[in-house]
Structure 1
């Protein structure tokens, strides 16, 4: 079973945009009401039993069960009968909002995330249709329940043998989009190690260093547009709260943020395809991205977007039949790829690897990428003699590519 998500830009009418905005607001209110119900239940169980609280009291019976997704769905069904606004929204869309809240609590319990927060006006920007009718796509239009046909820009064709399982309508600064989850009932074979191997090392001075010696620059999309973003945010702060001019200024800030994100993502996709052109096996470091995002170089790490790039690279390798695997990232910059001896820590200002034992000299990031390649080859069980054939360990022959 294979699932992929195709994204298309919608071309809704003014009346359809009004429906979208109303549905987002109703989803936000349902989310906040369900969160308040759960929060009150938790606080009522944390009050002291021998003293009254000076702030507030939660009069909830002691035998009242904890609110869950199932119980809140039943309550939603009862309340929809008395609310005309909620009756305008598809019932499954509201249920998906409650499921979103349930997932937030699961992330708090299992993923170490914080307690879910209430959503401000305009914070919720998407709603989901978990099921669509038969043949929802008709030409260049898609039929959504209770809304009808909506035109969209079909940037790529939808395969005939794919089943549309769900649709997510997303609001962005540049317009409205629909994300279709497609499912193919086909077996997905596992990609086995084959062909040449390369290791990559992500960094800040160079975005990616490859074990074959190639260095890719860091585009730094946020840093290049940071000054313009600062000026636009200053204009927003000088506008009156709630005015139309403030909303227009905030829209410009949102469009610039989307431009930065699109620039970064486009570069990641081009680089991922470039790496897949070179080899049949790609190895990368298994980094602690959350820890790096809290260090002194957090701003530069987040601007680079290593987590998004590694996710895109994994998906690109899967679609193109390239084997991808992460390896241990410890001491990759402290080990010589020629003699495999630890050379000690290097300051960040030292950009050249020079081994004091064997004399091997190369770029610091390239040496780390070669160590990643060596560890990847060892992980998949290949020997040096089988894959290197007299060449440098883990350094495949460099090929030309025209993508970047």
Structure 2
């Protein structure tokens, strides 16, 4: 089985928009109530056996098990019979909200994430239909359970030999969207590591440096509009809380955030396709993104969006039949790509790599990309002793779809 997600912009009428908003609010209330049940059970186990808190105490029997996804789904079934607002929402949509909470707790236990938080009004922005009926796509309309046919802008054709498994309705500043999960009953062959290769080093001065000598500028989408964003946020904070003017001002802030995210994502996709035009194998650094996001350059690292770029590059390589692999980045800037000797630690201000053993001189980021390429070739079984002359060069007929100098802006 092979799954892909197609996203389309919805064109709902006013009645359907009202239903979407009401369902999101009911999903938010169910999420918060289920979270409060789990939180109360956890707090009731914090007090010692011989003492109680001075302020308050949670009285829950010791024999009562912890709330789980299954037990809360059973409680939800009873609640839907007694609460008319819940009965108007599809039962599987509410169950998916409880599953979302379960995944949040699993992320806390397994991946070290924080304790799940309550969602404020308007903070829930999506709900899921895990199952759709027969023939849910009818022309430029999608048939949603209990809602009916909703028009959408079909920006690309949907293949006929696929099965639409589920639909997610998403609310954004620019409107409503539907994410359709399509399933193919095919076996996708594995991509073999053969052909030409490239290594990639990501950074802040150059967003990406490639082992063939090319460098791509950092677009800095957030930094470019940071002043405008600060002004809009200041205007929104001066509006009276709960007023329509505050809502309008906050909507401008939300739209600008979405524009920043779209600009960054578009740049990542263009760069990924550009790199796939050059090679049959691409190797990238395996970065500790959590540590980078907490350093003194955290804002600039988050603005660059390296994690999203590597995910997009992996997807693009898969779609275009290019082999992709992440390589450990330890000491890549301290190794000479020509003689593979350790050259020592460099300061951030040192932007040129010059080997004291062989005299090889290259841009620091490009040299790191060449080391990543050599390590990647060794990881897939290729024998590489040192950097060969003209290795990784770009053919003359390859046309760049992105700027390669810092002086020419990306957008």
TM-score grouping bracket, smaller chain normalisation:
over 0.9
Q: Distance in 1 between matches of 2:251 and 2:263?
A: 18
SS at match of 2:132: coil
- Give deviations 1:67-109, integer Å, cap 9, x for gaps: 1000000000011001110011000000000000000110111
1:163 matched to which residue of 2? 163
Partner of 1:391: 389
Question: Is the contact made by 1:197 and 1:396 (CA closer than 8 Å) also made in structure 2?
Answer: no
> d(CA) in 2 for partners of 1:358 and 1:57?
71
Q: State yes or no: 1:123 paired with 2:110.
A: no
Of 46-55 and 297-306, deviating more is 46-55
- Pairwise CA distance, 1:54: 1.2
Whole-Å separation in 2 of the counterparts to 1:90 and 1:7: 22
Do 1:198 and 1:396's aligned partners in 2 also have CA atoms closer than 8 Å? Answer: no
Shift of 1:349: 1.0
Structure 2 residue 15 is the aligned partner of structure 1 residue 15:
yes
Alpha-carbon offset, residue 16 of structure 1: 0.5
1:228 aligns with 2:228: yes
Q: What is the rounded CA distance, in whole Å, between the counterparts of 1:299 and 1:33 in structure 2? A: 34
Cα displacement (A) at 1:55: 1.7
Partner of 1:54: helix, strand, or coil? Answer: coil
Equivalent residue runs for 1:255-274 within 5 Å:
255-274=255-274
Match of 2:110 in 1: 110
**How much does 1:63 deviate?**
1.1
Deviation at 1:58, TM superposition (A): 1.4
The aligned residue for residue 399 of structure 2 is 401
Out of 53-62 and 242-251, give the one that drifted further: 53-62
Structure-2 residue corresponding to 1:343: 343
- Write out per-residue CA displacement over residues 276-332 of structure 1, whole angstroms, 9 at most, x where no aligned residue: 000000000001011000011111100000000000000000000000001110111
CA contact (8 A) 1:343 1:355 kept: yes
- Could you list the per-position Cα deviations for residues 378-401 of structure 1 after superposition, in whole angstroms to 9, with x for gaps in the alignment? 00111238x98x635x53444522
Q: Contact 1:208 / 1:215 at 8 angstroms: preserved in 2?
A: yes
Instruction: Name segments (4+ residues, structure 1) moved above 3 Å.
Output: 396-399
Determine the structure 1 residue equivalent to 2:213: 213
Deviations 1:210-268 (A, max 9, x none): 00000101100000010100000010111000000000000000000000000000000
In 2, Cα distance between the equivalents of 1:205 and 1:102?
40
Task: Provide the aligned length of Structure 1 versus Structure 2.
Answer: 401
Q: 1:129 to 1:70 in 2, by over 3 A?
A: same
Partner of 1:292: 292
User: Which ranges of structure 1 fall in alignment gaps of 5 or more residues?
Assistant: none
SS in 1 for 2:146: coil
What is the rounded CA distance, in whole Å, between the counterparts of 1:352 and 1:134 in structure 2?
61
Local SS of the residue matching 2:301: helix
Q: Which blocks of at least 5 consecutive residues in structure 2 are unaligned?
A: 403-411
Identify the residue that residue 181 of structure 1 maps to in structure 2. 181
Q: Give secondary structure in 2 for the equivalent of 1:55.
A: coil
- Distance in 2, matches of 1:267 and 1:55, equals 54
| Secondary structure, counterpart of 1:8 in structure 2 | strand
What is the CA-CA distance between 1:57 and the residue it aligns to? 1.7
CA distance in 2: counterparts of 1:41 and 1:401, whole angstroms: 61
* Mean Cα deviation higher: 259-268 or 57-66: 57-66
- Cα deviations by residue, 1:12-67 (Å, 9 ceiling, x for unpaired): 11111100000000000000100111111111111222123212121211211111
Structure 2 residue 89 is the aligned partner of structure 1 residue 92: no
When normalised by structure 1's length, the TM-score is: 0.97
SS of residue in 1 equivalent to 2:92:
helix
Provide the residue aligned with 1:70 in structure 2.
70
Q: 1:327-346 deviations in whole A, cap 9, x for unaligned?
A: 11011111111111111111
Aligned to 1:198: 198
The RMSD of aligned alpha carbons is 1.3
How far apart, CA to CA, are the structure 2 residues paired with 1:113 and 1:247? 31
